[in-house]
């Protein structure tokens, strides 16, 4: 019970003097009958030892005095303004952090860890006293405030029931920040006065709260975080011993590098349990069993498996969904299934602008090149045409190669400039000098794969400096002569030396002997493959829950319609079509490169499979708030001809 004193010292003295005065008046009022006695000697002796409690003897008989004293006492008590302000004020604010990461779906405790955690929270809600307020935050890799501070227990319970598991990794920091912002506002602001003595003023009162973290602890330690007013209690959910689990750690498809027509599916299985297990693995293509294998996994070890997808299979099916399943019963069934999309490689739309470059013309016309790209060859005059202006703006082409010509503005496409200096911001091009001697190449980059340029002779070139993020691919003694750098979803590659140049007389001169080398057609093939986007559509790397998925729509066909955006909408279909009735997708549409984000991870949660692209809501918010991206919200996606690009994901074990 708290007491709010509203009286000063003087009023208190006055008030406190009332009861003694009352007693005094009572005794003054008492009129004793005088009685003469022979001697008070004996009486004195009688009442001598009664003197100690004689006053109570007197008071015992006066009910009226007691009532008056009681009244005064109640009056004084009322002046103290007693009330139950909540002695447990600090304990009256609770924040429940519920881990909803994928590992919370483990069933080592019945029915699942998340359900257990929810039951524990419900218990705590039941124990709340009236007047206590609580907040519920669910967190995986991001935090979501399920319920703001409220003392409405039924609302808390309702929101608690609505918490569903996700397939995401755990990041406690986000949740702690959310709780921290409410408990430790603690920031100060300066009072806007000219007074030099202005001191910092606390803008809000810190509100202490008790923080309960319900998690299986599958997160990294959170460093550099001050709890402040928060009293954190970690409540471990799950069994102490390690639950047995066999997971698909990654699942991806790749073109067979030796047989380019073939595709391979790679998967890596991890055994997180403590026993060696032998599991059966089945590969389904569009729900039809294609292959099966049996893998023995040692405890704590992983193993990779590989499936060959024959030509005929691929050719039969333009698009398909590969499903990999482990036939094994373990505590976390979520990661026993993985999906990968299988896409027929689409031929890239390439525009080659060159006055006369036979080597390049031949290189883009090889049989292999035709498999992956459809190349339109135009002279540099095409740059001036309206068709080029429209197409470059609309992003019709995947790749535009500028040979001996320079565009006025960079198009909505990947570009390769050969020996010219394109109007790229933040790029720096040096003076033409020579001869550059090749020192090093970046063989890891897809553009430079399988290329040996050590024997290439270059007459003259200019050094290139890329903006941050760019990669130098060929280093010479004068600097980088081949570099690539991203530009708003596209990539620009600049080759710092010409193949064919013109001298002062306008004669065509050969600047390098690269065209005669074996590496040149391979380089062109790499350019078509990488910058043309063929590789991206073909290869299907693992996508983990929470990661953004890069989707690429097919190139529009009606590119001749001037000034019209060709791509109006993109429909993203989730596997098994388990999308909710209204999954809001945020699409950045000005290009064919679409970034898709699900706003609601409930979509993912409802499917309760890691096949769904549960995409990091943090990233989604960032995109959503960014005014540059200007996302258009499509409540219902209109169907168009763009086929589904299945987002893939494989289990990530938090």
Contact between 547 and 616 under an 8 Å Cβ cutoff? The reply is: yes
Q: What is the CA radius of gyration of the chain?
A: 39
Q: 33 or 199, CB closer to other proteins?
A: 33
Q: 8 or 38, CB closer to other proteins?
A: 38
3-state class (DSSP) for residue 484: strand
Q: How far is the CB of 90 from other proteins (least distance, A)?
A: 54
Closest CA to 319 of 220, 253, 409: 253
- Main-chain phi, psi angles of 388, to 5 degrees: -65, -45
3-state class (DSSP) for residue 609: coil
Closest CA to 459 of 416, 498, 421: 498
Q: 30 or 223, CB closer to other proteins?
A: 30
Q: 39 or 503, CB closer to other proteins?
A: 39
Q: How far is the CB of 68 from other proteins (least distance, A)?
A: 19
Q: How far is the CB of 27 from other proteins (least distance, A)?
A: 10
Binding to other proteins (CB under 8 A) within 365-384 occurs at none
Residue from 28, 33, 52, 64 binding other proteins (CB under 8 A): 33
Q: How far is the CB of 46 from other proteins (least distance, A)?
A: 5
Contact between 236 and 209 under an 8 Å Cβ cutoff? The reply is: no
Q: How many chain residues interact with other proteins (CB under 8 A)?
A: 22
Q: 4 or 64, CB closer to other proteins?
A: 64
Q: How far apart are CA 426 and CA 577, in angstroms?
A: 44
3-state class (DSSP) for residue 224: coil
Distance, C-alpha 493 to centroid of its chain: 30
CA 485-502-493 angle, to 5 degrees, is 10
Q: How far is the CB of 54 from other proteins (least distance, A)?
A: 8
Torsion over CA of 164, 616, 529 and 257, rounded to 10 degrees? -50
Q: 60 or 177, CB closer to other proteins?
A: 60
Q: 46 or 433, CB closer to other proteins?
A: 46
- Determine the interface stretch with other proteins among 44-52, 576-584, 605-613, 616-624 (rule: CB under 8 A): 44-52
Q: How far is the CB of 31 from other proteins (least distance, A)?
A: 8
Q: 58 or 487, CB closer to other proteins?
A: 58
Residue 105 has what DSSP assignment? G
Q: Under the criterion CB under 8 A, does residue 43 sit at the interface with other proteins?
A: yes
Q: How far is the CB of 59 from other proteins (least distance, A)?
A: 10
Torsion over CA of 648, 551, 172 and 112, rounded to 10 degrees? -30
Q: 7 or 59, CB closer to other proteins?
A: 59
Q: Under the criterion CB under 8 A, does residue 35 sit at the interface with other proteins?
A: yes
- Determine the interface stretch with other proteins among 32-40, 298-306, 602-610, 635-643 (rule: CB under 8 A): 32-40
Q: 9 or 30, CB closer to other proteins?
A: 30
Q: Under the criterion CB under 8 A, does residue 9 sit at the interface with other proteins?
A: no
Q: 41 or 84, CB closer to other proteins?
A: 41
- Determine the interface stretch with other proteins among 43-51, 129-137, 191-199, 404-412 (rule: CB under 8 A): 43-51
Residue from 6, 45, 563, 628 binding other proteins (CB under 8 A): 45
Q: 32 or 577, CB closer to other proteins?
A: 32
3-state class (DSSP) for residue 20: helix
Q: Under the criterion CB under 8 A, does residue 274 sit at the interface with other proteins?
A: no
Residue from 16, 21, 42, 292 binding other proteins (CB under 8 A): 42
Residue from 1, 10, 37, 201 binding other proteins (CB under 8 A): 37
Non-local CB neighbours of 473 within 8 Å, separated by 6+ positions:
441, 442, 445, 447, 448, 480, 482, 483, 484, 493
Q: 62 or 282, CB closer to other proteins?
A: 62
Q: How far is the CB of 47 from other proteins (least distance, A)?
A: 6
Ramachandran region, residue 8 (left: φ > 0; alpha: ψ -120 to 50; beta: rest): beta
- Determine the interface stretch with other proteins among 26-34, 296-304, 382-390, 441-449 (rule: CB under 8 A): 26-34
DSSP string computed for 344-368: PPPPEEEEEE-SS-HHHHHHHTSHH
Dihedral angle sign, alpha carbons of residues 365, 521, 311, 642: negative
Side-chain-side CA neighbours of 192 within 13 Å: the count stands at: 0
Q: How far apart are CA 195 and CA 217, in angstroms?
A: 51
Q: How far apart are CA 403 and CA 375, in angstroms?
A: 14
- Main-chain phi, psi angles of 153, to 5 degrees: -70, -35
Q: Under the criterion CB under 8 A, does residue 6 sit at the interface with other proteins?
A: no
Closest CA to 502 of 383, 381, 403: 403
Q: How far apart are CA 607 and CA 600, in angstroms?
A: 12
Binding to other proteins (CB under 8 A) within 50-79 occurs at 50, 57-58, 61
Residue from 20, 34, 111, 196 binding other proteins (CB under 8 A): 34
Maximum CA pair distance of the chain?
157
Binding to other proteins (CB under 8 A) within 551-590 occurs at none
Residue from 9, 30, 199, 638 binding other proteins (CB under 8 A): 30
CA 93-96-97 angle, to 5 degrees, is 140
Residue from 2, 17, 40, 256 binding other proteins (CB under 8 A): 40
- Determine the interface stretch with other proteins among 42-50, 211-219, 221-229, 279-287 (rule: CB under 8 A): 42-50
Q: Under the criterion CB under 8 A, does residue 38 sit at the interface with other proteins?
A: yes
Please give the residue ranges that form the binding site for other proteins (CB under 8 A). 30-47, 50, 57-58, 61
């Amino acid at each position: 019970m708290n007491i709010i004193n509203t009286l000063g010292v003087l009023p208190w003295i006055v008030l406190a003097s009332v009861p003694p005065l009352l007693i005094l008046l009572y005794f003054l009022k008492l009129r004793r009958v005088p009685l003469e006695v022979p001697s008070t000697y004996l009486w004195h002796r009688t009442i001598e030892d009664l003197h100690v409690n004689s006053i109570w003897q007197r008071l015992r008989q006066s009910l009226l005095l007691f009532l008056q004293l009681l009244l005064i006492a109640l009056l004084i008590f009322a002046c103290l303004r007693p009330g139950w302000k909540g002695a447990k004020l600090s304990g009256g604010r609770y924040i429940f952090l519920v881990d909803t990461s994928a590992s919370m779906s483990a069933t080592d405790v019945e029915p699942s860890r998340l359900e257990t955690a929810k039951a524990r929270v419900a218990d705590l809600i039941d124990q709340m006293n009236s007047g206590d307020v609580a907040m519920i935050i669910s967190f995986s890799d991001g935090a979501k405030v399920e319920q703001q501070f409220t003392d409405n227990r039924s609302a808390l319970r309702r929101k608690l029931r609505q918490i569903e598991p996700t397939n995401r990794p755990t990041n406690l920091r986000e949740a702690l920040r959310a709780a921290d912002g409410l408990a430790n506002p603690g920031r100060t602001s300066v009072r806007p006065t000219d007074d030099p003595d202005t001191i910092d003023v606390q803008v809000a009162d810190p509100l202490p709260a008790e923080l309960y973290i319900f998690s299986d602890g599958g997160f990294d330690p959170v460093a550099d975080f001050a709890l402040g007013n928060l009293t954190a209690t970690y409540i471990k959910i799950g069994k102490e011993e390690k639950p047995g689990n066999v997971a698909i750690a990654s699942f991806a498809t790749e073109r067979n590098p030796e047989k380019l027509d073939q595709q391979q599916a790679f998967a890596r299985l991890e055994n997180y349990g403590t026993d060696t297990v032998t599991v059966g693995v089945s590969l389904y293509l569009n729900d039809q069993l294609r292959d099966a294998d049996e893998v023995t996994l040692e405890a704590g070890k992983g193993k990779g498996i590989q499936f060959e997808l024959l030509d005929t299979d691929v050719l039969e099916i333009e698009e398909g969904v590969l499903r990999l399943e482990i036939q094994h019963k373990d505590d976390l069934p979520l990661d026993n299934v993985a999906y990968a999309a299988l896409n027929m490689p689409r031929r890239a739309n390439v525009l080659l602008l060159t006055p006369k470059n036979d080597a390049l013309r031949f290189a883009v016309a090889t049989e292999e090149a035709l498999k992956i790209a459809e190349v339109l060859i135009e002279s540099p005059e095409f740059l001036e045409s309206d068709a080029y202006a429209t197409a470059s703006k609309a992003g019709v082409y995947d790749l535009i190669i500028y040979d001996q010509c320079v565009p006025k503005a960079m198009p909505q496409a990947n570009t390769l400039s050969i020996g010219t200096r394109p109007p790229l911001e933040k790029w720096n091009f040096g003076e033409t000098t020579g001869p550059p001697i090749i020192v090093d190449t970046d063989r890891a980059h897809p553009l430079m794969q399988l290329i040996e340029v050590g024997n290439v002779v270059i007459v003259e070139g200019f050094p290139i400096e890329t903006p941050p993020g760019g990669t130098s691919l060929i280093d010479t003694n004068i600097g980088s002569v081949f570099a690539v750098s991203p530009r708003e979803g596209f990539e620009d590659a600049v080759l710092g030396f010409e193949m064919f140049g013109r001298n002062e007389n306008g004669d065509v001169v050969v600047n390098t002997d690269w065209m005669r080398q074996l590496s040149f057609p391979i380089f062109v093939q790499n350019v078509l493959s990488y910058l043309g986007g063929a590789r991206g559509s073909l290869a299907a790397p693992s996508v983990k829950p929470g990661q953004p998925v890069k989707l690429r729509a097919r190139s529009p066909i009606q590119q001749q319609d001037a000034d019209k955006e060709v791509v109006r909408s993109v429909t993203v279909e989730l596997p098994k079509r388990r999308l909710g009735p209204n999954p809001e997708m945020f699409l950045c549409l000005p290009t064919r490169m679409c970034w898709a984000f699900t706003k609601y991870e409930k979509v993912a949660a409802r499917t309760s499979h890691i096949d769904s692209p549960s995409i990091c809501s943090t990233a989604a918010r960032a995109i959503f708030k960014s005014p540059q991206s200007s996302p258009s919200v499509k409540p219902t996606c209109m169907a168009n001809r763009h086929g589904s690009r299945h987002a893939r994901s494989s289990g990530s074990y938090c």
